[in-house]
Amino acid sequence: MKVTKLLPLVALAIGMMGCNTPAGELVGAGGGANFREANPYGMVLVKRGSFMMGANTQSAVFEQPDNIVMVTVDAFWMDETEVTNSEYRQFVEWVRDSIALTNLVNAGLTDYAIQPKNGDFDEENFALNWRKKVPWNSPEEEVQDALAPMYFSDGSMRTNMLHYRYSWVNKDEALPQRNKFDVATSSYPKDAAVRVDTFWVTENGEIMDSTIIRPLREPKDLRTEKIICIYPDTLVWARDFQFSYNDPLLNMYFSHPGYSEYPVVGVTWEQAHAFCNWRTQFFNSSSFVKANDYRLPSEAQWEYAARGGRKMAMYPWGSNYARDERGCFFANFKPYRGSYSDDTGTATMKVGSFRPNDFGLYDMAGNVAEWTNSAFQSSAHTVISDLNPDYSYMARKADPDILKRKVVKGGSWKDISYFMQCGVRTYEYQYESRPYIGFRCVRAYIGD
């Protein structure tokens, strides 16, 4: 009897709930109505807006002047400071530990891998158990033999063996009309092909690469894989400044904790690109809600962020001068010939040593110049879109060097004030590393 009396009430409740969802109408799949992206740690939201892109003054470097164009940039997250030695060391240590854990598993110590529920361990495909710490100081002979390839004979780490393997979708190869997917036949054209790089490692640990052309038959053929040694080149302090005693920086700058909050340098554009890929995977592996990829900023994003919302600002702090009213410098650069210390620094300084711009971003001028994702072309401003402009190209191994130039912005500790202007652009080759070039990451904002 009690169940019989409850049935009308249940039917009434279901009917009332159904009033808000009209049957047979297009109401959407639901979810996400109240979604708001959480602030990424250490990043600042740069709201969308428009600005005048290009140099405020005549170019002092290139013959062809930059065109000044009005462009609009969507909102994005940007690192508050340049990536520090400490943050980049987290990447290096992750790669180091992943190699060590893999060596241990391959040596038969399968406890360092996640065990499958069915009990059948796959020696070819396994996931590392990151809850297990690497037993670097273990006296067990089996462990020592597994980790021995990671060390030189003198006991120091073989940093040239710290390889990071990753892949990405090569959109440059997906855009040509000849490779357009045909929805009518549910296939790619018969003559569709992609030009990509292939990588492998020799028995001596040397990374080899070659450009190949392969047929495009399925989406995975658009993926490009890369293997790269990710340890910074610490010798740049001596190589780029001969007849100069920079040995303390050469020996200590990246590894010593006293330099942890200094910007990482000696990193190529390719290494910075790999860092962004790792940062994306690292975040998504520990977050329930996935996010847009971390990447290097486009030239437009970097310049818009540097101007701090001021459409015609010459420098990130909004002034047309490098000093404030008290005569103090706004950034770490080279004020006069041979006089590096007038701004309180000689080489690099701790990130955030000077005031931020109006967006809350530190060191957008001086300290270290910064890699962008954009390819360098002197006339790029004449062809770019006025909405989210990004003149980019992923150069292949076989491409000429002129296609491997990347835009560098912001000026550094060894540059004069001209290079600190928001609109000034220079370049460096993507495979080169310098003691005055670092980087920071951006991430596209989800929503308005």
By the 10 Å C-beta count (0-12 exposed, 13-18 middle, 19+ buried), 285 is classed as: exposed
Q: Does domain 78-84+249-444 have CATH number 3.90.1580.10?
A: yes
Cβ atoms of 79 and 395 closer than 8 Å: no
Q: What is the largest CA-CA distance in the chain?
A: 99
φ, ψ of residue 91 to 5 degrees: the values are -65, -50
User: Which residues lie below 8 Å from residue 351, measured CB to CB, with a gap of 6+?
Assistant: 81, 82, 84, 261, 262, 263, 362, 363, 367
Long-range own/partner contacts, residues 101-108 (CB < 8 A, 24 or more apart): 101/128, 101/129, 101/130, 101/132, 101/134, 102/128, 103/146, 103/147, 103/149, 103/150, 104/134, 104/143, 104/146, 104/147, 106/146, 107/142, 107/145, 107/146, 108/142
Written as six digits, the tokens of 107 are 């040596």
Strand partners, 329: 323
Extents of the domains making up the chain: 78-84+249-444, 95-158, 163-229
Written as six digits, the tokens of 51 are 């600005």
Residues in the chain: 448
224-247 burial by CB neighbour count: b if 16+ within 10 A, else e? bebbbbbbbbbebbeebbeeeebe
Written as six digits, the tokens of 370 are 């910064």
Cβ atoms of 101 and 128 closer than 8 Å: yes
Please say whether the dihedral angle defined by the alpha carbons of residues 130, 133, 135 and 136, taken in this order, is positive or negative. positive
> How would you list the strands of the sheet with 437-438, edge to edge?
426-429, 405-409, 369-375, 437-438
Written as six digits, the tokens of 193 are 């092909």
C-alpha–C-alpha distance, residues 415 and 121, integer Å: 56
C-alpha–C-alpha distance, residues 303 and 299, integer Å: 6
Written as six digits, the tokens of 63 are 């013959």
pLDDT digits (tens, 9 = 90+) for 67-94: 788 999 999 999 999 999 999 999 999 9
pLDDT for residue 230 = 97
C-alpha–C-alpha distance, residues 54 and 385, integer Å: 14
pLDDT for residue 1 = 47
C-alpha–C-alpha distance, residues 139 and 160, integer Å: 25
- Which residues of the chain fall below pLDDT 50? 1-3, 10, 14, 16, 63
pLDDT for residue 158 = 93
